[in-house]
Structure 1
Amino acid sequence: MLRMMARACTYRMVVALFLIASTASAAGAQENHATAPRQPGPVSGSETLLPNGWSLSPAGAQVATGGFPLHVIAIPHTHLVVMMSNGYGEHFLSLIDSATARVVQRVPIHEGWMGLAVNAAGSRLYASSGAGDSILIFDLTNRQLKEEGAIALPAGTFPAGIVLGEGDRLLYVAGNLANKLLIVDTAQRKVVAEGPTGKKPYTCVVDSLHGHVYVSNWGENTLSVLDASSAKPVATVKVQEKPGDMVISPDRMRVFVTDGDRNLVSMVNTETQQAEEEIDVSLNRTPLAGSTPDGVALSANGRTLFVACANNNSVAVVDVTRRRHAAVPGFLPVGWFPSSLTVLGTGSEQRLVVANAKGAHSFENGSKFVLNSSDHINKGYVGLVLQGTVSVIPFRELKHLPVYTQQVLRNSPFTTPQASAAAPFALGRRGPIQHVIYIIKENRTYDQVLGDMKEGNGEASYAIFGEQVTPNQHAMARQFTLFDNLYHNAEVSATGHFWTDSAIAPEYVEKLWPSTYSGRGGHRMEYHDDDDDYPASGFLWDQCAKKGISYRSYGEFARVLGAAPGKVRPFTPSLQGHINPDYRGSDVIATVSDTERYGIWHREFMQFVEERSLPAFEVISLPGDHTVGTRPGAQTPRAMVAENDLMLAKMLDDISHSIYWKSTAVFVIEDDAQNGPDHIDCHRTTAFVLSPYIRRHFVDHTMYSSASVVRTMELLLGLPPMTQYDASAVPMWASFQAAPDMTPFSAVPARIPIEEKNTLQSYGAAESMRMPLDAADQADDGELNEILWKSVRGAGSEPPSRRLNAALTLQQMRQQSGQKHATTPSRQ
């Protein structure tokens, strides 16, 4: 199918001139070393640096709503919009006055998920309850939300997107877990028809001209077309991967749908029921995934399409006046992860309102890590730390679109590369490093583990798993390089294993994990077991397969579900024949120890050494530092972390004393940083790189992300980037050296008994028996965090309150440590 990806001349000129200016700036930076490390937080004026290296400078007025905004809808004939928040904390609706940019009412709901619809008179609102399997009804007669009851739906429906038909008599419901479209009679308040859709339907729109309903199937690459009266299937329209939000043109001739796994919006002709145009909404027409279009809205005249691009933190402005000849004149900067948008008003008085799911900036969480509350709500947990916002942008701001476009390009390291050090040696098949071993652990912040290292920017009072518990990780950081300014792209493990393995997390997981983690996601398959939500851009091992590079996985996307007892099976086609079938990872934390995992890996590694057949790339899940809380009879949290530390060290000892040490780099990272406090940012985590080519006794203060780890490994192996995020990540070359130092790493014994067991008297023993801790991240993390802290520091202990973003200056760091330091590298 011919792709129509036209760009307006204005936009092309803006991008070209901007990139020329950016290149000149980067070149000029070669002689200008930074005097202090970059860190997440305010940069200047309205600009904020995110922990992933991207920046925000949102246009318009910003409304601090809190929560995790997933949908925003305009109320006809008013200045009002309703926003629905469905995060980890309280779910609620906010009524917002777009004229004054303030919240005028906030209504808590027990649970909900994304779907909103309002009648033509603006007097009644319908909201999807998600796992509540109902449609909530609110009266809006007096411009205030007043509960009016609910419409029950069949169990297991999980209503997502909803829309009213003409006359408001029928409400159409996308049943996300039922794989159905339901038709509800709003007068009778009951379901009157239902029909089959594709996998995981996201939302629906009504084509009243032809009597059809279009449903986007989030779990595949199709739209289902059903009869608007009977819900009988009419047609299936093929689009691109992960179709999500939709909008229909005023003349009912075109449906626009986001293709979340691509940088595209598909335009479907409602007469032919075919996709006729694919509009590229990436910042620079890149084929690399990462823009993540996830929301669409049209201007009142239907000539301008607005597209929320979640992972670009922007809105693409698309001229759709000419059918099959869409053009993108520019972009608007908005908040972090825009999830939905709507337009209200007419003519020049129109406003664009954008829901930003992750808000305006990231936060430290140490000062919020309060544990002794009666409700066990830990406000320092990452699911509660990020606070959503809504951007209100008057249409008159569109006259500044070229300026805003430059701002969006400047905010993206993909279009404005950060200065970085050069690799000190050849890369790929010509380079000295021919083997990469990638070890992924579970959930720790930097301060939890390395906060007691005076050489780095740590907070010792948060280090519950400090040197006494993790002597080997401290030895690695001292003997090789200490990275004290590295941040995870993920908030939790659900997204974390995608970010660590594929440099992006699917929109499906990003939008649903807060609900599933808080017990409101419905009975859906665990994200890593469900290949419907795997990113279309693939995983690191997919790239290896394409390049003919040997690879092997130990427990990473090799899962127990559907496998023989005691075994795992591959969950992506390219892992078939490339896993150790006996190595079980993070889905069996409680029943398999890291000692057992090490034994399985060690035997195979020694066989590879004997046969001279070590794969070029190995990925290893080593999840024991997650712990199982204080279950009586199980290892204590500090014993599990100590065992994890020792087994990691034994792996590194084996590697560095083998014939492969001279050609190997080992990368170690957590899958996220969700389970602890950090005084810089809740995303900051530990990372280690061991190789003869890593600098010794060195502290690297360069700001990196987990995508930096992925990018560095890709470059070493000669692999292309998978997404815009690894492509734009700063490689870790500041810590590499040209001349190898062959000194091996030797494991040191554990300082505490790794067989130490919890008892019935251990803090949180009863809660730990109740909590689902057999696999990673099934339990309430706020409660688990409390148990971990108090199991180490005592039942009456509290984390000390610390200053916000208390970053040490470079001079202070040097005064504290005699080690060599690096800040921002000098060149790309």
Structure 2
Amino acid sequence: MSNSFYFFFLLLTLPAFAQKTYTTLQVPGRAEFCSIDPAGKSVLPSGRYVSPAGNTIRVTNDPFGMALAPNGQRAVLLHDGVLTVMDLTKAPKAIRVPDYAGTIPPVLKGGSFLGVAFAPDNRTAYLSNGDKGRVLVFDTDALRLVDSISLDGNGYEDSFTSDLLLNGNELLVLDRANFRLVRIDRATQRITASIPTGRQPFGLALSPDRKLAFVANVGLYVYPKVPGVTRTNKDTMALKFPPYAAHTKESAEGVEAEGRRIPGLGSPLADEAMSVWTVDLATNKVVNRFKTGVQIGEMIEEAEVVGGASPNSVAVGGRYAYVSNATNDNLSVIDYRTRKLAGTISLRIDPKLDRYRGLMPFGLTLTADQKTIYVALLALNAVAVVDVPTRRVRGLIPTGWGPTRVALSPDEKTLYVTSARGYGAGPNGGQSFVKPPQGTYIGDIQLGTFQAIPVPTLVQLAVYTKQVLANTYQTVALTDNGRNPLPVLPKTRLSPIKHIVYITKENRTYDEVLGQLATGRGDSTLARFGTGVTVRSRIATSRGTSGRTNDQPGDTVRITAADISPNHVHIARQFAFSDNFYCDSDASIHGHHWMMGTIPNEWVEANAASEGRFDAFSKAPGRRFPKTTGAIDPEDYNEIGGLWEALERNRVSFFNFGEANEYAGSVEEWTTTQFGAAQSVVFPMPKAVYPHTSRNYAGYNTNIPDQYRMEQFEQEFTAKWLNGKQTMPQLVTVMIPNDHGASPRPDFGYPYLHSYMADNDLALGRILHFLSRTKYWKNMLVVVTEDDPQGGVDHIDAHRSLLMLAGPYVKRGYVSHTHANFGSILKVIYNILGVGYVNQYDLTASLLQDFFTDKPDFRPYDVVLPDGRIFDPQQAMKPYKKPFDWRKIQKGPEMDDRADQRAEHYRQQNEGN
């Protein structure tokens, strides 16, 4: 056979996909590290850019409330426990209350939530005092508190002040704890009426003639206390596992569980659930209940809708009211004269993106001529300009990260926009870092922004629109030769990787764990959880102005040359890690949403940014509000869900160890070992993951050793997928949370904060040691990351965290510098398992093909012990009367031998007779 004929024959036998070119969408910053450049483009943790239009200044983080004075010369921004008074007479200037110098005293003690309104005198502002259930009266000239008005009384208690507005001589105030609209006489400060609303009233608006009030309700269910649970017995009487999945017959009607009748939640389509109510202010009667947006249970492109519309804000004209439905990326139009829904405005911005959700419309404002609506797109970092007559998006205006509110100046020549996270966080530690006045915690260092934007012409708007889209994604053509184990797109070809294990840990930054590695871009001075480090007695608080772990007066050096995380270091060196990975999240309440493919909506964001007291035993039903830390509440679900729902739709097998376990009001004791957290209030799990979740694996609960979790994991894995008849699922999610840290507990084997990290490190080493000795290893990928980075500091960005990949098809000794986030991880999972993307963040994430090789290396990983002076695993397991058997751990999984199989065979035969 000639060489030319052989080459021709080889071409004919190659797979059809060889050298095929695909078009992908990826973030523009995929080759860059996070950075802040107010004069240019800042790179966010997602890899997207922000370049806010107009005159932009930085303010305190999370401004979720904004009001303009009637004369347009002043604005008040409301943050959690802080307010900002803006002078708008020339270039915007900000005064923080309280100021960092301590000359202006605090006003909002006990937090705040959304609501702020100006009086006609252009001086007096009314502020939501949120969790305290009060309205504060504030003098914006003197910068002092004038008065406060309590919403409690007349049979109501535990009030929680939400949105509010001025209606002539009265205040209209939402009480989200008691599900009501409160009318307050300004002169007497007396409550004149309490009118029922739907669940968790969130947004409030008034018709121009002041006859109708519109209330947007974001709550879905009323969550009951678990029967039999009291304040004194909750540690033993709380439910050990959620009693049912959301949106099921069981959740609607209730079930028998753990010897009790657990009440149901009713229908998610009830009038009280995620709706807009109109109140006739002449009669104090609710005259309409509108179900806006797409409803749960409907089908959209062969996908069942699982998330409610989350109607959150309302703008009202002379005949029509416009409602932002965050989950659906649209606006509902209400004809309140005929009392009917009059259509939908789909926020379509780009044919490449429009099929997917990912805008999250929030605050909105309507022009005086009622022809234009400006809508803050919380998840797109832009304001949409909507043409009302055509019901189309006219264009986009670039904002900071996470725009929340929009307002027009009285002359409608200037648009004002607030954004929750502004330009991002930037570094919060390192050798050259100088501590700013607001501190170094991620939620404090990440300032918001306030923009004053001249209302753009059509020509300028076209330029802005191109800028927003360019900040969001780039179109990248990639040639796939069929060799890389990570396909360019889902469902284009099969990957040799058949099983993915997705491991999540808690709250660590890159620098504090891997900052010593010379191959990565780290700062070794921040590596308090590295190897060869010194453990000090005041490690949790000993921070110098640089953010480094420094000796402080009174510190006692306890241990030197300690190896806290030897397995993390060995795994990173042996396999592959990223030095350019960022959590999209600031804290766990965001992180467990993003990790599982759910974009946090306005309810999650506003709740996370506000102090709020959860009380299972309160008479106010809204005090049992959903504010899940380590799971996802029904109020939070995206339109067609996230990762789990996508897997279920595509019939991809999966199993969950420990995710979705920590709901509001959880009981977390060292004895709560079945699921890690017990429930005093009835919260359901997402329907897709409920039947695929271990009933005997402790999720988040730092009172339980990660070594105990490894015992649970190894036993169930062995029983199900090694010795049992089932095959290992295609995706397995595992939570090992103790790197979160907690107070030292010497009697339980945790003498230092570092002990929790050492426990976690050993668990991570154990799970990889175990998996790499199973029959599934030859086709396995292990992904290791953190849910958020809030526990530490980093010299690149406070969001930078851990991403390590391990497996035969992962490059050995490799460092990836590709900008990555949770969307990148999900893109790995979706592309390998052949699952279509769910939202715009999956669609546009960077593609991490550089991690992989087509030449597999099947060598297993060998676990190592951490420093015994820091953590003694035997001591940690002693309360559970379980030995720590190091030899057994090193041996790996124990497969059944022939003698065991023979004995089991005859036992079953005898039982059959």
TM interval, shorter chain, is 0.7 to 0.9
User: How far has the Cα of 1:153 moved from its partner?
Assistant: 0.8
Q: Which residue of 408, 432, 450 corresponds with 1:343?
A: 408
Code of the aligned partner of 2:591: G
User: How far has the Cα of 1:659 moved from its partner?
Assistant: 0.9
Aligned residue number for residue 287 of structure 2: 234
Distance 1:262 1:71 in 2: 23
User: Per the alignment, in what secondary structure is the counterpart of residue 708 of structure 2?
Assistant: helix
User: How far has the Cα of 1:361 moved from its partner?
Assistant: 3.4
The answer to whether residue 506 in structure 2 is matched with residue 442 in structure 1 is: yes
Q: Which residue of 490, 501, 513 corresponds with 2:596?
A: 501
Distance 1:462 1:421 in 2: 40
Structure 1 187/158 Cα, relative in aligned 2: closer, same or farther at 3 Å?
A: same
The answer to whether residue 707 in structure 2 is matched with residue 595 in structure 1 is: yes
List aligned pairs for 1:477-516, cutoff 5 A.
477-516=572-611
List aligned pairs for 1:613-624, cutoff 5 A.
613-624=727-738
Q: Which residue of 371, 379, 383 corresponds with 1:315?
A: 383
Aligned residue number for residue 159 of structure 2: 157
The answer to whether residue 90 in structure 2 is matched with residue 99 in structure 1 is: yes
Cα distance per residue 1:526-584 (max 9 Å; x no partner): 42364323333413111111111111111111458789975449611122321111112
Structure 1 42/77 Cα, relative in aligned 2: closer, same or farther at 3 Å?
A: closer
Code of the aligned partner of 2:648: A
Aligned residue number for residue 785 of structure 1: none
Cα distance per residue 1:262-301 (max 9 Å; x no partner): 2112121112333322222243251322111111012232
The answer to whether residue 51 in structure 2 is matched with residue 57 in structure 1 is: yes
Aligned residue number for residue 332 of structure 2: 266
Distance 1:647 1:581 in 2: 20
Structure 1 245/44 Cα, relative in aligned 2: closer, same or farther at 3 Å?
A: closer
User: Per the alignment, in what secondary structure is the counterpart of residue 257 of structure 1?
Assistant: strand
Code of the aligned partner of 1:476: I
Larger Rg: 2
User: Per the alignment, in what secondary structure is the counterpart of residue 688 of structure 2?
Assistant: helix
Structure 1 229/28 Cα, relative in aligned 2: closer, same or farther at 3 Å?
A: closer
List aligned pairs for 1:414-433, cutoff 5 A.
416-417=474-475, 424-425=484-485, 430-433=494-497
Aligned residue number for residue 185 of structure 1: 185
List aligned pairs for 1:41-52, cutoff 5 A.
41-42=35-36, 45-52=39-46
Distance 1:146 1:434 in 2: 63
Structure 1 549/447 Cα, relative in aligned 2: closer, same or farther at 3 Å?
A: same
User: How far has the Cα of 1:694 moved from its partner?
Assistant: 0.6
Code of the aligned partner of 1:317: V
Aligned residue number for residue 442 of structure 2: 382
User: How far has the Cα of 1:484 moved from its partner?
Assistant: 0.7
Q: Which residue of 590, 613, 635 corresponds with 1:532?
A: 635
Distance 1:689 1:51 in 2: 19
Code of the aligned partner of 2:179: N
User: Per the alignment, in what secondary structure is the counterpart of residue 710 of structure 1?
Assistant: helix
Aligned residue number for residue 128 of structure 1: 128
Code of the aligned partner of 1:449: V
**Residue segments in structure 1 that go unaligned for 5+ positions in a row:** 1-23, 760-828
Cα distance per residue 1:302-334 (max 9 Å; x no partner): 2211001111111101111x2xx3121111111
Q: Which moved more, 1:219-228 or 1:427-436?
A: 427-436
Distance 1:275 1:476 in 2: 57
* 8 Å CA contact 2:578, 2:803 repeated in 1: yes
Over aligned residue pairs, what C-alpha RMSD do you find?
A: 3.2
User: How far has the Cα of 1:163 moved from its partner?
Assistant: 1.7
**Residue segments in structure 2 that go unaligned for 5+ positions in a row:** 1-20, 99-105, 221-273, 294-308, 532-562, 616-621, 679-683, 876-913
User: How far has the Cα of 1:419 moved from its partner?
Assistant: 7.5
Aligned residue number for residue 697 of structure 2: 583
Distance 1:522 1:378 in 2: 30
Greater helix content: 1
User: How far has the Cα of 1:345 moved from its partner?
Assistant: 2.3
Distance 2:22 2:395 in 1: 22
Distance 2:739 2:716 in 1: 23
* 8 Å CA contact 2:377, 2:383 repeated in 1: yes
Cα distance per residue 1:95-135 (max 9 Å; x no partner): 33153222267564223222012234535321111112111
User: How far has the Cα of 1:339 moved from its partner?
Assistant: 0.6
Q: Which residue of 55, 74, 79 corresponds with 1:80?
A: 74
Code of the aligned partner of 2:197: T
The answer to whether residue 517 in structure 2 is matched with residue 404 in structure 1 is: no
Distance 1:503 1:732 in 2: 20
Q: Which residue of 444, 459, 465 corresponds with 2:523?
A: 459
Q: Which moved more, 1:540-549 or 1:59-68?
A: 59-68
Aligned residue number for residue 276 of structure 1: 342
The answer to whether residue 861 in structure 2 is matched with residue 735 in structure 1 is: no
Q: Which residue of 313, 317, 337 corresponds with 1:245?
A: 313
Distance 2:849 2:22 in 1: 21
Q: Which moved more, 1:36-45 or 1:308-317?
A: 36-45
List aligned pairs for 1:6-85, cutoff 5 A.
37-42=31-36, 45-85=39-79
User: How far has the Cα of 1:670 moved from its partner?
Assistant: 0.4
Q: Which residue of 404, 407, 415 corresponds with 1:352?
A: 415
Code of the aligned partner of 2:722: V
What is the TM-score normalised by the length of structure 1?
Answer: 0.80
Cα distance per residue 1:25-75 (max 9 Å; x no partner): 99999xxx99x9511114695211112111111111012223321122221
User: How far has the Cα of 1:184 moved from its partner?
Assistant: 1.4
Q: Which residue of 456, 460, 476 corresponds with 2:571?
A: 476
Q: Which moved more, 1:124-133 or 1:90-99?
A: 90-99
Distance 2:68 2:277 in 1: 26
Code of the aligned partner of 1:460: S
Structure 1 518/51 Cα, relative in aligned 2: closer, same or farther at 3 Å?
A: farther
Aligned residue number for residue 169 of structure 2: 169
* 8 Å CA contact 1:369, 1:381 repeated in 2: no
